[in-house]
Amino acid sequence: METLKFVHRISKGTRFNQIYIPHEMKEIFEVGDSVEVRLIEKRNTFYSSKKLELGEFKKKLSIEILNFLSQLNDVEQAFIVGSFLNSSDYGDVDILIISEKNLEGKVYSLLTERFGMKFHIIAIPKKRLEFLIKSCPLTRSMLYFFISNKKFELPKETVVDKGHIEFLLMMPKDLLEIKLASRVFYDNLRRLIAIGWFLENKEINPLEINKEIKREVKEGVFSSLKNNEELDEKAIEKLRGIIKAKIRKIEVLWERNELFKN
């Protein structure tokens, strides 16, 4: 029999998804005929945060990674987050996975083998993530820019969990007493800004956080912080002053928050 074919997209039905016979072929493909359905091309569906601007190379790679992850059992949803999305000097690709199982090791091995790149995997059960995106400034900042295989939106509603905020403040407070690598100072300045903006109910755009740090430290210090280069005592003391001021601001915001609640 001569091969008669047409190419169509699968459409969504109320109970089942379906493929319609084109009108001009209704005399050829009739009810009761046997047909073979073959997948030609997987639909490249992805969802991203509104403000994300991704170049062609990164977009193509992201879709490939997300398609790959979509095929894995137990991966409910996958996100690409972090510096890969908005910086040219990313060290690895940060992947966030919603899963009830601890898949970090397995996903890491599969991705590394398939793409030959460095990945950092975080796997979180759905319920935990749902709580964190409302209550954790760092998680909200992490998901400010994302690309995902399923729809996602950061909820506007936030929940202030004092214990969690105090937990996040432990490291910046430790830095007032101990000297660690400059990158740790940088990460904790970012953390403090994120916490402050969270308490002020502002958006936590990681690129804006960097601008805020740049405004507060000299250009040379900013570059040393980002590149984890040694800083002299004077610069460290200046950073401690900024950290102290930011912690104080957070405490004031916290007190206001409490007053507002009462």
Partner 1 sequence: MGKKRIIQELTNLLAKSLRHKIGGIVNKNEIYSQKYAKDAEILLKEAQKISLRENWNSRDKIEIKRELEKKLMKELEEKTFLDESKFNLASSEIIEVLRILELG
Look up residue 16 and give its two tokens: 């089942």
Q: Which of residues 105-144 bind partner 1 (CB under 8 A)?
A: 122, 124, 128, 131-132, 135-136, 138-139, 142
Q: How far is the CB of 20 from partner 1 (least distance, A)?
A: 46
Q: Which of residues 28-67 bind partner 1 (CB under 8 A)?
A: none
Binding of residue 236 to partner 1 (CB under 8 A): no
Yes or no: say if 188 and 171 are a contact pair by the CB < 8 Å rule: yes
**Using the rule CB under 8 A, which residue among 168, 193, 199, 231 binds partner 1?**
168
Binding of residue 166 to partner 1 (CB under 8 A): yes
Strand partners, 98: 77, 124
Choices 43-51, 179-187, 211-219, 233-241; region in contact with partner 1 by CB under 8 A: 179-187
**In angstroms, what is the C-alpha Rg of the chain?**
24
Nearer to partner 1, 58 or 191 (CB): 191
Q: Which residues contact 127 (CB under 8 A, 6 or more apart)?
A: none
Q: How far is the CB of 240 from partner 1 (least distance, A)?
A: 16
Exposure pattern of 167-190 as b/e (b: 16+ CB <10 Å)? Answer: ebbeebeebeeeeeebebbbbbbb
Binding of residue 246 to partner 1 (CB under 8 A): no
Binding of residue 187 to partner 1 (CB under 8 A): yes
- Write the DSSP assignment of 187-229 as a string of letters: HHHHHHHHHHHHHTT----HHHHHHHHHHHS-HHHHHHHHTT-
Binding of residue 230 to partner 1 (CB under 8 A): no
CA–CA separation, 193 and 199 (whole Å): 10
Residues in touch with partner 1 (CB under 8 A):
122, 124, 128, 131-132, 135-136, 138-139, 142, 161-164, 166-168, 170-171, 174, 177-178, 180-181, 184, 187, 191
